[in-house]
Amino acid sequence: METIKVAIAEDDFRVALIHEKFLKKIPDVEVAGRALNAEQTFALLQSQEIDLLLLDIYMPDRLGTEILSSVRRDFPQVDVVMITAATDKAFLDMAIRYGVQNYLIKPVTMERFTEMIHQYIETRVLFQTQEEINQEFVDRLFGKLHQVSPPAHSELPKGIDEITLQKVLAVLKKSNGGLSAEMVGQRMGASRTTARRYLEYLISIERCKAEVEYGIVGRPERKYYGL
């Protein structure tokens, strides 16, 4: 999976450091930088390709909602999550109208923060790996279903997490042929054992199939194909 580059726009450097520590604990996430005001925020967005901006509302030079408006106009490819102490309903209304990915009220616990980032990653993976659009896909994308996985298997078994599962599905989808568990593991940055556990789970929910193939020396090898 691609690395998600996240920028933090927060005037309180202590809060920014806390959120940066949270981000560094999450796999496939890179902290692109921190900004203490609107000027630094735009400079950061201009200097790098940012995927996600964590934006406060009470910034020293401009309100976060004003920054959000400019980001939508000048950097439409950047997703935004508002993280603020502001509880004024008008701010929430503006944030929703400008299409923010989420809105968190400070103080934010590590658990809630991590959940928000995971939800964001799951949505990106879902959108990138889906070719055909139907109502079920749209419902999942807009959060009407609590799980990204098929409804019949909404509760994942122990040892299976949604983000890794989506990575395995993405690897299978990009492959033109069968892949061994070792090959899948290499492409997603995991061990062969981990990859095989997820592949076998996907077989159990009919999202992939396995066939035994024989190499040049006649050694049988289990190859997996996405469905």
Sketch the domain layout of the chain as residue ranges.
Answer: 4-125, 150-226
Residues 86-97 have a mean pLDDT of 88
Helix (H, G, I), strand (E, B) or coil at 93: helix
Check residue 123 and give its pLDDT.
85
Query: What HEC string does 163-198 produce?
Result: HHHHHHHHHHHHCCCCECHHHHHHHHCCCHHHHHHH
Give the fold, CATH level 3, of 150-226. Answer: Arc Repressor Mutant, subunit A (1.10.10)
Residues 83-99 have a mean pLDDT of 89
Task: Inform me whether the pLDDT recorded for 146 exceeds 70.
Answer: no
Check residue 1 and give its pLDDT.
62
As a whole number of angstroms, the distance between CA 206 and CA 184 comes to: 18
- Please enumerate in sequence order all residues whose Cβ is within 8 A of that of 43, keeping only pairs 6 or more positions apart, or say none: 35
Check residue 151 and give its pLDDT.
38
- Please enumerate in sequence order all residues whose Cβ is within 8 A of that of 91, keeping only pairs 6 or more positions apart, or say none: 57, 64, 65, 82, 84
Task: Inform me whether the pLDDT recorded for 177 exceeds 50.
Answer: yes
- Please enumerate in sequence order all residues whose Cβ is within 8 A of that of 15, keeping only pairs 6 or more positions apart, or say none: 56, 106
Enter the DSSP assignment of 213: E
Check residue 150 and give its pLDDT.
40
Give the model confidence (pLDDT) of 48-83 as tens digits. Answer: 999 999 999 999 999 999 999 999 999 999 999 999
Does residue 27 have a cis peptide bond before it, meaning omega lies within 30 degrees of 0? no
Task: Inform me whether the pLDDT recorded for 164 exceeds 90.
Answer: no
In a 13 Å sphere around the CA of 107, the CA atoms on its Cβ side amount to: 5
Give the model confidence (pLDDT) of 107-137 as tens digits. Answer: 899 989 998 998 898 888 888 777 788 887 7
Query: CB neighbours (10 Å) of residue 24?
Result: 10
Rg over CA atoms, the chain: 20
pLDDT level of residue 201 (50, 70, 90 thresholds) = confident
Check residue 153 and give its pLDDT.
43
**pTM of the prediction?**
0.63
Task: Inform me whether the pLDDT recorded for 84 exceeds 80.
Answer: yes
85-104 in b/e burial notation, b at 16+ Cβ within 10 A?
ebeeeebbebbeeeebbbbb
Mean pLDDT for all residues in the chain: 86
As a whole number of angstroms, the distance between CA 51 and CA 141 comes to: 18
Does this chain's domain 4-125 share its CATH topology with 150-226? no
- Would you state the structure tokens that stand for residue 14, as one six-digit string? 């202590």
Check residue 143 and give its pLDDT.
66
| Cβ burial, residue 26 (10 Å; 0-12/13-18/19+) | middle
Q: Which CATH superfamily is domain 4-125 in?
A: Response regulator (3.40.50.2300)
- Would you state the structure tokens that stand for residue 32, as one six-digit string? 């692109």
